[in-house]
Amino acid sequence: MTTPNAPRTSLPRGIWVLGFVSMLMDISSEMIHALLPLYLVTVLGTSTLTVGFIEGIAEATASITRIFSGALSDWLGRRKLLAAFGYGLAAFTKPLFPLAPSVGWLVAARFIDRVGKGIRGAPRDALIADIAPIGLRGASFGLRQSLDTIGAFLGPLIAIALMWWTADNFTIVFWVAVLPAFLSFGLITFGVNEPDPDPSRVPVKNPLNLAAMRQLGAVYWRVVAVGIVFTLARFSEAFLILRAQSIGLDVMWVPAVLVLMNVAYALSAYPAGVLSDRINRTGLLALGLVLLAGADLALAQLPSLAGLALGVVLWGLHMGLTQGLLSALVADAAPPSLRGTAFGYFNLFTGLALLAASVIAGALWDAFGPQGTFLAGLGFALVSLVGLLAVGNGLAARNR
């Protein structure tokens, strides 16, 4: 029997529901994204540089949108409305993918879909931070990341089955992906209860002014710097798919690359989150970069199914050890009244870094082939490891 003041050891229902909301939307998104690079290259005849540009622009769009939705959630003092609107926008955009007659339509669909992701991202993460018990933030974000990633490998598995069943009919797969997106929207609309606002909370007049940026504090901006360092060292997972194709993997089985990566990701994210509540988090981040360097080396130098599998597993483990942990660090460092803005800025700067990394990766692929892309990734990872140790000096876990 626990006393009223005893620390909570189990995660609240709201954390679980938000995790399943993310899982369903990721099933939908990954059914499309696992095939979209191949659809663009093999059906519509675009270049890999164009793929890298589209992927980078899409993610950067989501990141830029997050700064405004996060700040708006702080100004309103409410998170759920914006998060639900973002999930709804993404759901209603999904039918555009099977209906798109050209690259331009697909770019527009990808753009609007990512706007929806941007609108929901920062308010949802701030809502998780508001709901998460003290001392369980790492576990809360790790659980959300694990459930989200389960959706990310179920999506490609369903895509594989449907591609086999329909004899590589991309359009049917894209239509089936519409259903889980609308289920996700319904679940967050009716299944999540937002905590009542803190009566002592001081309303934020303008979360995007310089005074608010200073109020976020030096520790928070150090976390942002660490996130930028990490993002520059990796690029879109679309290049894992293209690497699979380059070694001769059949089109039907190419989505298995994302399945394997996301299995490793899902299995490691929650344990990493739990562990991060107990030990210094910078060491786990450094280990994540070491795993990323190993993934790049395998993908560059081992052009075989075994080498591809090794690289993809290491890539997934690196994601599991870093992504939920970075979100927990943002939640730890940011003042409660500015959490939405904090997640918005973090995703803005890391999104711009991902745009740069993806465009560079596409250009290197066109100029030097897959080896050039992944060897450059290896170099960036090693440089980033040095940067992490410098930027992260004095950055300790702040479990409150």
What's the domain count of the chain? 1
Higher-pLDDT residue of 192 and 394 is 192
User: Is it the case that residue 60 has pLDDT exceeding 70?
Assistant: no
User: Is it the case that residue 400 has pLDDT exceeding 60?
Assistant: no
The reported pLDDT for the residue numbered 63 is: 67
Through-space distance between the first and last CA atoms of the chain, rounded to whole angstroms = 24
pLDDT band at 3 (very low <50, low <70, confident <90, very high): very low
Mean pLDDT, rounded, for 387-396: 58
Q: Is residue 5 part of a domain?
A: no
Specify burial of residue 279 (Cβ count, 10 A radius: 0-12, 13-18, 19+).
Answer: exposed
Mean pLDDT, rounded, for 81-89: 93
The reported pLDDT for the residue numbered 91 is: 93
Tell me if 387 sits within 8 A of 353, measured CB to CB: no
Q: Is residue 166 part of a domain?
A: yes
User: Which residue range is the domain that position 106 belongs to?
Assistant: 13-194+206-391
User: Is it the case that residue 31 has pLDDT exceeding 60?
Assistant: yes
Q: d(Cα 157, Cα 27) in Å, to the nearest integer?
A: 9
User: Is it the case that residue 113 has pLDDT exceeding 60?
Assistant: yes
Q: d(Cα 90, Cα 119) in Å, to the nearest integer?
A: 10
Mean pLDDT, rounded, for 85-104: 87
Angle at 342 between CA 85 and CA 182, to 5 degrees: 20
Task: Please tell me the pTM assigned to this model.
Answer: 0.75
The reported pLDDT for the residue numbered 92 is: 92
Residue range 166-195, pLDDT digits in tens = 887 888 898 999 999 999 999 999 988 888
pLDDT band at 314 (very low <50, low <70, confident <90, very high): very high
Tell me if 29 sits within 8 A of 262, measured CB to CB: no
Q: Is residue 133 part of a domain?
A: yes
Q: Is residue 3 part of a domain?
A: no
Place of tokens 């591609």: 163
Mean pLDDT, rounded, for 371-388: 80
The reported pLDDT for the residue numbered 180 is: 94
Mean pLDDT, rounded, for 251-271: 83
CB atoms within 10 A of CB 101: 8
User: Is it the case that residue 389 has pLDDT exceeding 80?
Assistant: no
* Token code pair at residue 228: 């930028």
Q: Is residue 372 part of a domain?
A: yes
Q: Is residue 328 part of a domain?
A: yes
Q: Is residue 6 part of a domain?
A: no
CATH number at residue 384: 1.20.1250.20
Q: Is residue 87 part of a domain?
A: yes
User: Is it the case that residue 139 has pLDDT exceeding 90?
Assistant: no
